Structure 1
C-alpha cells in the first residue's frame, strides 16, 4: 500500500503513524472481520487515520493545528495526549519506582488501545453508513431542485461529517447551500453558513415568519440564520429556494 500518496503528506508520520501505515489495515479488518480487499476496509483505513492517528502524528512532530500566531481563545486539555499524560506518575508521588512507571504505561496502553478500537467501530457502524446516505442524496440533488444547491436528507444521519469531502470527491459545483433541514457551514469546523437564511426572517416564528417570507407553515428561523423549520416538506423546500435567491 502506498501510504504517502493517499494520506495528507503535510503531516509527517511519527512512530504511531508508521506503525499504523504497516499494521493499521490488518488491525481494522481483523476487528471488523473484513477481507483486506473489501472497499470498506480501504475507506475505513483512511478515515481512522484522518480522525484519530493524524492528530497523534502532528502532536508528536510539533505541528500546530492552526496557521496563526494568535493565542487560542480557550484551553483544551481533553485530547488523547492530555488524557494519557495525566496517567504519568505525578512528581509529588513518594513512590517513583520503575514498577509504578510500568503500571502507568500499561494503563496508557489500555486507554489508547480502547479509544482506537472505539474509533474503528464508530467509523464502521455509523460513519460509513452515513457516508453512503449522503452520497446517494447528493446524487439526487437535481431532483430536489434544479439549482443542484439543495440536498434532501433521505434519512436522519450525521451528514456534516461527509458533505465537504464528498463534494470534492464528486466534483460538485456549485456547492450545496442547504440540506433540508439546515444551511451548510463554510467548513466542517466553522459556524458560519455558506448562505444563511435571509436576515429579515431571523428570530421570527410562526405567523410572523410566514407573513414575512410569504411561505405558509413556517415554524421558526434561528437568530443566526443557520437553521429554519416549516411544518411541511414543501414549505421547507420553498424556504430553501427563496433563501437561495435572496
Structure 2
C-alpha cells in the first residue's frame, strides 16, 4: 500500500523543502519506489535543484491538461538510488504563480479531486511512497495536500510565531481531517537534545535536528543523504524515515 506524506510547516524558512528532498532520496535509497511532488505552488524551488525533463508541470495536471504521469522525471540514475525516484515540478514562471493567486474555490476543489485521482494513479504505478512538498501556512493548495495525504510531517522551528501557528494547525486542521502527524524540530538551538520533549501539542517529535551553520556553506542544492550519508543531518533523516515507517 502506498504511503502519502505531506511535508508542511506553519511558516516559511523552516527547511521544509530540504527535509522533503532528503526524505525522498532516503526512501528511494532504501529500495522504496518514491515520488516527490512540488506542491509549493506559490514558491516552487525543487526545479532549482533538479532539472525537470518533462514538458508538463504539476500545475498542468491540476488544471486538467495532462495526466500526473506526464509530469514525472525519474532521477534514479542521477541519484544512484536502489529504487525509482520520481519528481514532479511546479511551474516557477511568475505569470503562473500570479495566475494561481487568482484561482477561485471551484478551481481549488477541482484541484483537490485531481490530486486524489493522481494519488490513485501513482499507487497503481507500484509506488511505495508519495511525498508532497507543500506551501507553508493555510493556503488552499496546502490544505489540499494535507487532505490528500495519509500522514502530515510538520517541520517546525522553535520560535514564538512558529509555536503558536503550529499549535493552531494541529488543533484546527490536522485533527479535523483526522491525520496522523509527526513533528521535526529543525535548526534547533537547544544543545541538550536528550531533554527535548518526546511530544509537542500531543504530537510525537520524530527528531530534533540541531542548527548546523556549515550546511549553509555547502550549497543549498546539496542532498546530504546522497553526498554525505555519515553526516549528522543525513543520519537524522534516515532515523525519521524509519520512524515514519513504524507509524504507518
Could you say which TM-score interval applies, normalised by the shorter chain?
under 0.3
More helix by share: 1
Instruction: Specify the structure having the higher radius of gyration (Cα).
Output: 1
More strand by share: 2
TM superposition score normalised by structure 2: 0.26
TM superposition score normalised by structure 1: 0.26
